Amino acid sequence: MGWWKEAANFKEEFPIENLPMETFSDKRGDALALLYKRPEASPDAAKTRRLPPSLQIDRRKEEFFSRILPILDGFDNIFRYVERSNLEGNETVSNWLKTLESLYRRLLSALEKEGLSAIESEGMSLDLSLHEVIDTREQPGVPNNTVLEEVVRGYRFGRRVLRDAKVIVAKNPAALEE
């Protein structure tokens, strides 16, 4: 007698979409039992769901770079303050600034070797995929939508933008009228 004539054959009594849980057992070796076989939990299955090692490293680097951006901003703010305050006349302060600039360049160089790069903005045309406009200024003689000043530097990791540069853009009234 075949399996289709058995009294306790759930596959025959129920449509395939509504099979009860009992048919999920492995006791039979027919084709439907293989279709409804539950996947076995293996240690290798957990590994296949994880990201490849290269992407895991990239994610860790990206998280690290996100945490280090405020430190780089601190250096930028110090250098901007010095430019505005004209503190370079003092020899002691000047030596400290040279040391800070050297450390800053070395830090940026090390980060660039790992894939972090600053987005160059000043003098460039506005690109909304890289820049966030925080202000506009009327600037005759400068083409419209040209970045005049970078308030907060933007960074990218590889091709991905980690943070947009916050910029002030030229607004040329003469160019708007034409």
Could you read off the pLDDT of 64-74 as tens digits, one per residue? 999 999 999 99
Structure confidence by residue, pLDDT tens digits, 7-25 = 555 555 555 555 555 544 5
Give CA separation, 47 vs 44, 50, 53, 103, 169, in Å: 5, 5, 11, 41, 48
- Tell me, what's the pLDDT at 1? 47
State residue 94's pLDDT score.
82
For the chain, give every domain's residue range: 3-38, 53-177
Which one-letter amino acid corresponds to residue 28?
A: R
Q: Given this model, what pLDDT does residue 18 score?
A: 55
Q: Decide if pLDDT at 100 tops 50.
A: yes
Give residue-wise pLDDT tens across range 155-172: 999 888 999 999 999 988
**What is the model's pLDDT at position 92?**
84
Q: Which fold has domain 53-177?
A: Nucleotide Exchange Factor Grpe; Chain A, domain 2 (2.30.22)
pLDDT of residue 42 exceeding 70: no
Query: What three-state secondary structure class fits 28?
Result: coil
pLDDT digits (tens, 9 = 90+) for 105-153: 999 999 999 999 999 999 999 999 999 999 999 988 888 999 999 999 9
Query: What is the structure's pLDDT at 91?
Result: 83
Q: Is beta strand 131-138 parallel, antiparallel or unpaired with respect to 165-171?
A: parallel
**Global pTM?**
0.62
- Helix or strand run (H / E) with residue 169: strand 165-171
